[in-house]
Amino acid sequence: MKQSSGKTCGIADKPFDNNRRTFMRTTALTAGLLSAGIAPFALAAKGGSQTARNPLRIPPTIAPGGAALSAAPARVNIGGGKLSSVLAYNGFFPGPTFRANNGDVADIAFTNGLSAETTIHWHGMIVPPAADGHPMDAIKPGASYAYQFPVEQRACLNWYHPHPHMKTGEQVALGLAGAFIINDAEEAALNLPSGLYEVPLILRDANFDSSGNMTYTAKSSGFLGKTPLVNGTLSPQLEVDTAIYRFRVLNGANARVFRLALSNGAPFIVIGNDGGLLDTAPASVAELELSPGERLDILVDFRNFAVNDKVMLRCLSAGWDLLEFAVARAVTVAGEIPAGALSTITALADPVLTREFSFDGMSRINGLVYDMNRIDFQVPLGQTERWRFKTGGNAPHPVHVHGASFQVVSRTGGRGLVLPWERGWKDTVLLLDGETVDVLIRFEAYRGLYVMHCHKLEHEDMGMMANFEVI
């Protein structure tokens, strides 16, 4: 096992320092709320407009070459004024954001500090089977494992989370997840907003006990928490400049589908998704649907706002206020929203066969519950195939494939169309009741064992998953 030091901008050994200011500020706010007879958790659960808001936490950035990563219980301040018990990577909730360039090599020394087995799956990353976090490769409590893989794919937002057999839902719900951003030259040429103007937003929901500690109860229809969190922050606020912002959005919830909109009706400008930049011009949309595991790359233009204006990122389906943008500074920043096609993507074509996958009930694919030791099908390396996902009910089923990205070519039934943010490359696609979704896929990188599964994590844990072997 390679020994290496964590590179978390020099603060890995003090994981709670970045929360100190938040803690002091919210402690004072909490005192005021309590004197008014209103508990902060109850107030936040309503997502009410008068909720005291906490500064949005931004996870530290870490380079994947020679990194050290641990999973362990931690006590973190989520902004409610007291510490919550969670599971955390390197003490952070969410975990540190890996940032790599296409061509880098990841060498991540992982130590399991949990009381249960775990693995790490690098969701969206094209990695060898030995680094993919397959449930067969469980890492025992106290043991270590070196995740090593070349970063050989286009710019995009991916993420990492546990993938142990039947325990993924619990470990993710209790806090284990982080972002993994890849940059490349095609993206850099667009001069997209960067630095303080590029902000990861990890959306999820959570439940807390009366002491404010995170709790998890598996439910076959999917875990739905009562409280929204963005970047592990309760009732968050982000102070923004009068500039264009790039938000890298991940749905890190176990089961909840977010329907996103801005409170002022302003559009999101979609530039990318799971697999990176779209091959179209930016798409302006008022509402976006994002299911567990999916990502969005969006621009929001605050240039015409005045200082002290406020805009809320909302979830229309839950009726939640997710994140308040508070315009704090008038600035003039160079840069425009790109006008033309954002990238070039070669369309997959001429599939040699069609495989059909029926997501049945809450625990089966094509009638079978997952068996870790059964290989359900084999796929030749380099062969273009059509995979058809359908369901008899119990959706939403966000379908996720390991080992390759795919292109969504059609959706019939249900919503009946491919949405603007589903173009280009995807690795997770939402299947609602009555829908049939066709994708084209070609495994090009590695032979070996991978899985496909429903990314509603309770369905995955109950067996809605299949092993396949790239041969």
Q: Which stretch binds Cu ion (CB under 5 A): 174-182, 369-377, 379-387, 389-397?
A: 389-397
Whole-angstrom distance, CA of residue 365 vs CA of residue 383: 22
Establish if 437 lies at the interface with Cu ion (CB under 5 A).
no
> Smallest gap, in angstroms, from Cβ of residue 358 to Cu ion?
12
Size of the site for Cu ion (CB under 5 A): 4
Q: Which stretch binds Cu ion (CB under 5 A): 26-34, 151-159, 250-258, 453-461?
A: 453-461
Establish if 246 lies at the interface with Cu ion (CB under 5 A).
no
Nearer to Cu ion, 121 or 397 (CB): 397
> Smallest gap, in angstroms, from Cβ of residue 400 to Cu ion?
10
Q: Which stretch binds Cu ion (CB under 5 A): 77-85, 307-315, 318-326, 455-463?
A: 455-463
3-state SS string over the chain? Answer: CCCCCCCCCCCCCCCCHHHHHHHHHHHHHHHHHHHCCCCHHHHHHHCCCCCCCEECCCCCEECCEEEEEEEEEEEEECCCCCEEEEEEECCECCCCEEEEECCCEEEEEEEECCCCCECEEEECCCCCHHHCCCHHHCECCCCEEEEEEECCCCCEEEEEEECCCCCHHHHHHCCCCEEEEEECHHHHCCCCCCHHHEEEEEEEEEEECCCCCEECCCCCCCCCCCEEEECCEECEEEEEECCEEEEEEEECCCCCCEEEEECCCCCEEEEEECCEECCCCCEEECCEEECCCCEEEEEEECCCCCCCCEEEEEECCCCEEEEEEEEEECCCCCCCCCCCCCCCCCCCCCCCCEEEEEEECCCEECCECCCCCCCCEEECCCCEEEEEEEECCCCCEEEEECCCCEEEEEEECCCCCCCHHHCCCECEEEECCCCEEEEEEECCCCCEEEEEEECCHHHHHHCCEEEEEEC
> Smallest gap, in angstroms, from Cβ of residue 396 to Cu ion?
7
Nearer to Cu ion, 393 or 416 (CB): 393
Nearest to 271 by CA among 279, 259, 261: 279
Q: Which stretch binds Cu ion (CB under 5 A): 85-93, 161-169, 393-401, 443-451?
A: 393-401
Nearer to Cu ion, 162 or 293 (CB): 293
Nearer to Cu ion, 39 or 368 (CB): 368
> Smallest gap, in angstroms, from Cβ of residue 430 to Cu ion?
10
Establish if 454 lies at the interface with Cu ion (CB under 5 A).
yes
Q: Which stretch binds Cu ion (CB under 5 A): 59-67, 186-194, 313-321, 395-403?
A: 395-403
Q: Which stretch binds Cu ion (CB under 5 A): 83-91, 124-132, 341-349, 447-455?
A: 447-455
Nearer to Cu ion, 401 or 454 (CB): 454
Whole-angstrom distance, CA of residue 381 vs CA of residue 471: 6
Establish if 397 lies at the interface with Cu ion (CB under 5 A).
yes
Nearer to Cu ion, 364 or 423 (CB): 364
333-355 in b/e burial notation, b at 16+ Cβ within 10 A? eebebbeeebbebeebeebeeee
Establish if 452 lies at the interface with Cu ion (CB under 5 A).
no
Nearer to Cu ion, 211 or 221 (CB): 221
Whole-angstrom distance, CA of residue 308 vs CA of residue 101: 37
Nearer to Cu ion, 390 or 456 (CB): 456
Q: Which stretch binds Cu ion (CB under 5 A): 131-139, 168-176, 326-334, 451-459?
A: 451-459
> Smallest gap, in angstroms, from Cβ of residue 210 to Cu ion?
31
- Binding-site member from 121, 161, 256, 456 for Cu ion (CB under 5 A): 456
> Smallest gap, in angstroms, from Cβ of residue 397 to Cu ion?
3
> Smallest gap, in angstroms, from Cβ of residue 399 to Cu ion?
8
Nearer to Cu ion, 30 or 254 (CB): 254
- Binding-site member from 459, 461, 466, 468 for Cu ion (CB under 5 A): 459
Nearer to Cu ion, 314 or 456 (CB): 456
Interaction pattern, residues 343-382, with Cu ion; x per rule: CB under 5 A: ----------------------------------------
Nearer to Cu ion, 206 or 399 (CB): 399
> Smallest gap, in angstroms, from Cβ of residue 249 to Cu ion?
21
> Smallest gap, in angstroms, from Cβ of residue 455 to Cu ion?
8
Nearer to Cu ion, 449 or 454 (CB): 454
Contacts of 71 (CB under 8 A, 6+ apart): 87, 88, 89, 110, 111, 112, 113, 114, 118, 120, 162, 171, 176
Question: Which residues, numbered 47-106, are part of the site for Cu ion (CB under 5 A)?
Answer: none
Whole-angstrom distance, CA of residue 207 vs CA of residue 461: 19
CA 383, 386, 391, 397 torsion: positive or negative?
Answer: positive
Q: Which stretch binds Cu ion (CB under 5 A): 11-19, 167-175, 390-398, 410-418?
A: 390-398
Instruction: List residues near Cu ion by CB under 5 A.
Output: 397, 454, 456, 459
